[in-house]
Amino acid sequence: MPLPMLNSGFTVPCLTIGLLLCSNVFMTFAWYGHLKYPSLAMWQAIIISWGIAFFEYCLQVPANRLGYGYFNAAELKTIQEMLSLSVFMVFSVWYLGEGMKWNYAVGFGLIVLAAFVIFHEW
């Protein structure tokens, strides 16, 4: 069965996942970007984070509305969590300069296994 196409030429799964990926980039910066600036006042970190999170919602809400029906709610949440962890792994190494440990990779692998269990037709 062919995937449903949108007027933009993108398939529903492709656009849904793309929007969720972009929204997770914004949310990761909103939640953790301020950690690089410990001298920033708490109220400033909160206001800046809220401003960044606004753009996350501008992408996340359409992604879930578009994807719901093709994906069910559990599948959408699983996609979002896998993307969130993937983005965070890159962010923590690239932006925060933290190292990647073997147990992080194993834990992420277990989450991938969980996604397989959720998406597999039993």
The pTM of this model reads 0.83
Residue 65 falls within a domain, yes or no?
Answer: yes
- Can you tell me the distance from the alpha carbon of 108 to that of 97, in angstroms, rounded to the nearest whole number? 19
Q: How much of the chain exceeds pLDDT 70, in percent? A: 93
Range of the domain at 68: 12-119
- Quick check: is 69 in a domain? yes
Tell me: the pLDDT tens digits for 67-90?
999 999 999 999 999 999 889 999
Is 42 domain-assigned? yes
With respect to residue 51, please indicate whether it lies within any of the assigned structural domains.
yes
Confidence of residue 4 (pLDDT cuts 50, 70, 90): low
Asked if residue 2 belongs to a domain, the reply is no
Number of domains in the chain: 1
In a domain, 4, yes or no: no
| Domain assignment present for 5 | no
Distance CA 68, CA 65 (A): 5
- What digits encode the pLDDT tens for the residues 29-55? 999 999 999 999 999 999 999 999 999
> Which residue in this structure is represented by tokens 């296994």?
113
